[in-house]
Structure 1
Amino acid sequence: MYRIIITLISIFLLFNSAWGLAAEVDSSNPYSMVEQVARNTFSRLTSEREQIKQDPLLINKVVEQELIPYLDYRFAALKILGKYYRQYPLEKINQYTEVFKTYSASVFANALHYYQDQAVEFEPAREFNNQKQTTVRLNINQGSNSINLAFVVRKDTKTEQWRVYDVVAEGISMLSSLQSQFEPILRKEGIEAVMKTMRNTKD
């Protein structure tokens, strides 16, 4: 699962620095959204490279400001909770969701330290009108090897904005991996144990 996260973060960074300053993200288009988030993240890491060398924790700030707003962490968190959702009051669900948000940011920030320059090729955009979910596909070239990656994105029916909620690398779903990891804990120990595990996860 961690390999998938590393790959996800790498994709957000695989763009030419000639793009210059970060652009405002258009979340009404899932394809341009993914590319613009990549552009903005790359610009931040480039402009703040020396500061990050001095203080590696600054990566957390980049993640929180440039990546997390375009990840549907609440939807992903509830998918992981699954049928156990009904066992807990809304206040507890909201608490769990915030813990999952912090957990996600921490994993992404750690993954940034493993970033290596790679080449990426996006597949052509497809028609997405009248759809609530679509997939943005791409290939990562690593020398003689190629990794197939897919961002699964969904549209919020209230805001009409698209956000990523899952990433699939070589057929392995990050969301499914997290579901498999946390379901036994939910079943045996409950949501508090899941939150404790997330809080204690460092890598």
Structure 2
Amino acid sequence: MKYISGSALLLIALATTPLAALGNESGNKNAAQQVEQYTDPFKMMEIVADKTFQRIARDQELIAKDKEHLRVIVNEELVPYVDSRYAALTVIGRSVNLRELPREEFDNFVVAFEDYMVASYAGALTYYRDQKVIIQPARPPENQSIMTIKTRVIDPGKPDITIDFKLRRNRGSEHWLVYDMVAEGISLLDSKRAELSNLIRQQGVARVTELLLEKAKEPIKVPE
């Protein structure tokens, strides 16, 4: 097991932030950025978590001056290791006929969904209070492309929080990326899909893309 300083609340906030109130291996815009690739998913989770929270601690002066700096940290430290394209595909689910959806329209949705999630992560990171996260070692399953890494968040004086990270690798690839997390039994992607599916069916992918982009542009703030 590995102890890591981190924020539990940011993960719970991401799993519960509502979207319904809105009236290539990864689709993220940092794909061109040079990032480290890991064939060991457990090692990847360790290093990414360490780097992210060390960066937050190091940049506290910048964050105090402007919370928008948290958006920079998320884009640079977390987004390169998230499979935004697959996550967006999962959220759309069966709300539309993907065979009939223009490629450009789907690509635009991926970008908007990622921008929204970056804003959500950045807002949730304002909860950072140096909690401890235990990442339980796990071996990638042979000949499978999906796996789960379990973590436990320890916050003195409060019940532990269990969080499962879902990872996948594309066919022919050895590199793992995060596509979902399940906090206390609540799947981030399942909750977003439930909230967005009706909007997509009623208003279409293009309109929901616009709504997500509008939401993502709002100033970073502590989630309610």
Q: Do both proteins adopt the same fold according to a TM-score greater than 0.5, normalized to the shorter chain?
A: yes
**Unmatched 5+ stretches in structure 1:** 11-23
Q: Counterpart in 1 of 2:87?
A: 76
Cα deviation for residue 104 of structure 1 reads 1.2
5 Å-filtered alignment, 1:11-160, equals 25-83=36-94, 84=96, 85-142=98-155, 143-160=157-174
Q: Write the deviation string for residues 100-123 of structure 1: whole angstroms up to 9, x where unpaired.
A: 111111111111112222222222
Cα deviation for residue 127 of structure 1 reads 4.4
Cα deviation for residue 173 of structure 1 reads 0.3
SS at structure 1 position matched to 2:160: strand
In 2, the alpha carbon distance for the partners of 1:26 and 1:8 equals 27
Root-mean-square deviation over aligned CA pairs: 2.2
Cα deviation for residue 59 of structure 1 reads 1.0
Q: Counterpart in 1 of 2:178?
A: 164
In 2, the alpha carbon distance for the partners of 1:175 and 1:29 equals 24
Q: Write the deviation string for residues 40-94 of structure 1: whole angstroms up to 9, x where unpaired.
A: 1122112222122122211111100100000101000011112312331111111
The percentage of aligned residue pairs carrying the same residue is 33
SS at structure 2 position matched to 1:80: helix
Q: Counterpart in 2 of 1:182?
A: 196
Q: 1:6 aligns with which of 10, 14, 29?
A: 10
> Is the 1:27–1:163 Cα contact (8 Å) retained in structure 2?
no
TM-score, structure 2 length as denominator? Answer: 0.76
How many residues matched? 187
> Is the 1:5–1:108 Cα contact (8 Å) retained in structure 2?
no
> Is the 1:30–1:162 Cα contact (8 Å) retained in structure 2?
yes
In 1, the alpha carbon distance for the partners of 2:12 and 2:138 equals 19
In 2, the alpha carbon distance for the partners of 1:40 and 1:9 equals 21
Cα deviation for residue 144 of structure 1 reads 3.9
